[in-house]
Chains A and B, each alone.
Chain A
Amino acid sequence: MSEPPLIELSDVSRTYGSGETEVRALNHVDLTIQKGEFVAIMGPSGSGKSTAMNTIGLLDRPSSGRFLFNGVEVQGLDRDRRALLRRHFLGFVFQGFNLLPRTSALENVELPLIYKGMPRAERIERARLALHKVGLEGRENHDSSQLSGGQQQRVAIARALVGEPMVILADEPTGNLDSHRSHEIMKLLQALNRDDGITIVMVTHEDDIAAYAGRLIVFTDGQVASDGPVPERTRA
């Protein structure tokens, strides 16, 4: 039997409100992502790309349809079960970095491991390795306020990968960064995808950022408008 796709949405809809004010953010979406892919999701605002991300990231729950994560049905899981799945299989990178304020880089990276119940010494060791991987060795004890935007996003990436997730979900990871830093971050993500085999799903507005991915999905009006390989992929 072949390996199941990592993410499989079939006929997934997500609606907010009801009756006249009902908003259909996802409208009968079918989407499959295989292990090891690097997927960029684009689309105008309100197209449903963020809802799709939140659904894939198990932060949100589809109103209808099926969601198989690594072959397991997850659309009906409650808050806490979804939290457990996020804890063990997912990593998040946000546009606003979302680091804990007044907390050192190391402690930020440790955070997911705390919830995994890992002993402190091992946590610190792993967090150090993760920071090393994103090129921030020597900055372990810096506060997020002492780090540049690019460095903060690296901390966020370290935090996402420290738990050895199957997928990293990046929601406009370069949205708050200048172009030079953006490309550095993208190179890092591409390397993680290529060298560590981590599946990456990324939402972005910018074509040159999307070009780092291997596959491009465009959303419009809550549906997949186009889906195919990135035409001229940037390879770092």
Chain B
Amino acid sequence: MIWETVRLALLALRRNKLRSGLTMLGIVIGVAAVIAMVTVGQGSSRSVTDRVASLGTNVLSVRPDRGPGPGGVSVTRAFSLRDADALAELPVIGTLSPTVNSTQTVVAGGQNLSTTITGATSGYLVTGNWTLLRGRTFSPSEDRSGTAVCIIGETVRRALFGNSDPTGQQMRAGNVTCDVIGLLQAKGAGTFGQDQDDIVLMPIRTVQRRFLGNDNVNTISAALAPGVSAARGIREIQSLMRERRRIAVGEEDDFSVMDMAQLASILTGINAVLTGMLSSVAAVSLLVGGIGIMNIMLVSVTERTREIGIRLAVGAEGRQVLTQFLVEAVVLSLVGGIIGVAVGLALAFGASLYMAIPFAPQLYVVVLAFGFSALIGVVFGYFPARKAAALDPIDALRHE
């Protein structure tokens, strides 16, 4: 009997294709929105975690902050290469690289690109978790001198050299002509969606002398020695830097040491809040879809009053009419749910391609959204169905 009822419901829905379609649309949009939001949200959290991992989780980033200067004016005291050398002596530190940045236009073979030149040492490949695809890294003497050599990222290679091998070729950065000695393995988009492969590495001395004209160091990124905890690394770096920068006991640090794992958890947290917010908006649209179903079913009951009268006259019990209308509502919302799941996953898949994040479908969300749409069918279908079942057959038959 229940199969019979489902078949009847499908027939009744097919008789009103347009209306059934429009009713389902509400549920489709609601379910699709929830699924897409949650899937994209999960994907971007995962991508944040992945990317931070690609930075190397045991990497600490040391930067100067504003601190009290002479005459009560707050100033930022930059690090120097000597600070980096001193930190490198610490046993807790495995590898480090001082870095500076300068934005320059790079030119080769008639092509040009505005990019950020990172002045660093060969240690940067370790702290930045980079792999060389071709060529070589800076030699120890290049690390120390201002030689015009550079290692480029995939984006720069594509812009300037197309698909050809850039190593051994020359390019011009600003007014400096440098030899390309290495090509980095592509990494893809970064934590904030930036293109990590849009990178040119040059020895830090070169960037300081030829572009910046000073000896300042912006950031020191330090990979900890194996087995050293982030907390211990931070403590030792802080005590050394306080000493070197002559910060009195009781005064605050005028620099900060940031742990990448910590950054990851902050970013993931922000992501979860955003996903939650967007999903609740999507859930509201699911609710609105449910009310749409109730509305249409009520209209349908009124419009089909005579049909209900006929059914009652030929011997349908109230319960059977109730079941029929309830099943119709549930079928509508379930079919809407199925389409919604498909559309939502497709949207999320498209978005994940576009945003270059992992596609992370969550079974529990699919099950939940699907179950919820069925529930909506029952809840919002019940009232109209009860109304239909309670009709008096004589009045119903007389209804115009």
A interface residues with partner B (beta carbon < 8 Å): 54, 57, 59-60, 79-80, 83-84, 86-88, 90, 92, 94, 98-103, 107, 111-112, 114-117, 120, 159, 163
Contacts and interface: CB of A to CB of B under 8 A. Distances in A.
B393 A98 contact: no
A98 B304 CA distance: 11
Nearest to A90: B315
7 contacts: A59-B393, A59-B394, A86-B314, A100-B307, A103-B15, A111-B311, A115-B320
Interface centre among A57, A88, A115, A120 (most CB of B within 10 A): A115
A114 B319 contact: no
Interface string B1-35: 10010001001000100000000000000000000
Given A59-B394, A86-B315, A114-B8, 10 more contacts: A57-B313, A80-B319, A83-B317, A86-B314, A98-B306, A98-B397, A101-B15, A103-B11, A115-B315, A115-B320
A114 B315 CA distance: 10
A102 B310 CA distance: 14
A115 B190 CA distance: 64
A79 B389 CA distance: 11
Interface of B: 1, 4, 8, 11, 15, 306-307, 309-320, 393-394, 397
A212 B393 CA distance: 29
A103 B304 CA distance: 13
Contact of A114 (B4, B310, B312, B394): B4
A60 B312 CA distance: 12
Nearest to B3: A120
B270 to A, nearest CB: 54
B106 to A, nearest CB: 70
B316 A115 contact: yes
B314 A80 contact: no
B315 A87 contact: yes
A83 B320 CA distance: 11
Contacts of B397: 59, 94, 98
A80 B15 contact: no
A102 B315 contact: no
B15 A84 contact: no
Nearest to A118: B4
Contacts of B1: 117
Contact of A102 (B15, B319, B320, B394): B15
A57 to B, nearest CB: 8
A86 B15 contact: no
A121 to B, nearest CB: 13
A54 B317 contact: no
B166 to A, nearest CB: 70
B202 to A, nearest CB: 76
A119 to B, nearest CB: 10
A54 B398 CA distance: 12
A100 B310 contact: yes
A130 B12 CA distance: 23
Contacts of A57: 313
A52 B11 CA distance: 35
A94 B306 CA distance: 12
Nearest to B306: A98
B299 to A, nearest CB: 15
A59 B317 contact: no
A116 B315 contact: yes
Given A54-B394, A59-B393, A114-B4, A98 B309 contact: yes
Contacts of A159: 314
Contacts of A117: 1
B314 A115 contact: yes
Most A CB within 10 A of own CB, among B311, B315, B393: B315
B54 to A, nearest CB: 60
